[in-house]
Amino acid sequence: MDSIHHAVIILAAGLGKRMRSTKPKVLHELQRQPMIYYIIHAAQKLASNNIYVVVGYQADLVRIEILKFATVNFILQENQLGTGHAVQCVLPALSADISQVIILCGDTPLIRYDTLNHLLSTHVSSQSDVTVLVTRVDNPKGYGRIIFNEKNELAGIVEEADADPEQKKINIVNTGIYAVKRSVLARLLQKIDQNNVQKEFYLTDIIRYGRSEKLSIGTVMGKDPIEIIGINSIEDLQNIERLLHQRKIKLLDFDSHQQL
């Protein structure tokens, strides 16, 4: 797929309060590399130089560390007002020939190129306006829940903080990874607001507004939920280190076709 027509946005502006550290979350190391290293590595295979990293907390330090291993475009999110706001900061910087946007989180280092390529290929071939990478997990706590309507179409995504007891039982979850038509993304981001528990602009709200506009919204089911494990604490980091050690996986040498 010709990389000139799509761009990857990586959200990496947050502190990560649960890490209990002053170090930016995305710079915490997994197998001796900053976790964002692996995400950028997968993104480069997909979009070459069209990679935009949103920085905020200790932006200069994050820039310096990333530039040691990759050339990317940096976008500053001065005030961390949520994921929707972060993506909004990037849109004016995209070149005119970018028609599709893939959005990734800076704290999911196990995501692989094959999965991202499948997401983008499915999104484009189905001519969807928005496609969400979802996965089924044993324990959905902490994740946004995927809500399907009676036609088994994606109706919305409810964040953990806003979910009612029934919704919290849903075990198909949002990975935080999306493929979106650039023109659709720009329009939907103008509609989102801060009317939620966290008082943030949720990127997930583009699904709700997209559904109200009767846009084409699809999902791709991730095969391996391990790929989308988000690192939110030192304990999460240690658990992933242990898991990779048990499976004798070195991410630097890892082929995307191998099993995690």
Residues identified as active-site? 18
Q: Which of 259, 256, 239 is nearest to 30 (CA)?
A: 239
How far is 150 from 98, CA to CA, in rounded Å?
34
CA angle, residues 181, 163, 188, in degrees to nearest 5: 20
Coil, helix or strand at residue 63: helix
- Contacts within 8 Å (CB) and 24+ apart, 20-25: 20/233, 20/234, 21/234, 23/58, 24/57, 24/58, 24/61, 24/62, 25/106, 25/107, 25/231
Q: Which of 1, 3, 57, 8 is nearest to 177 (CA)?
A: 8
CA-CA distances (angstroms) from residue 108 to 39, 166, 250?
A: 7, 27, 16
Structure tokens at 117: 């390529």
How far is 208 from 141, CA to CA, in rounded Å?
21
Q: Are 12 and 28 in contact (CB under 8 A)?
A: no
β-bridge mates for residue 256, sequence order: none
Structure tokens at 121: 């290929």
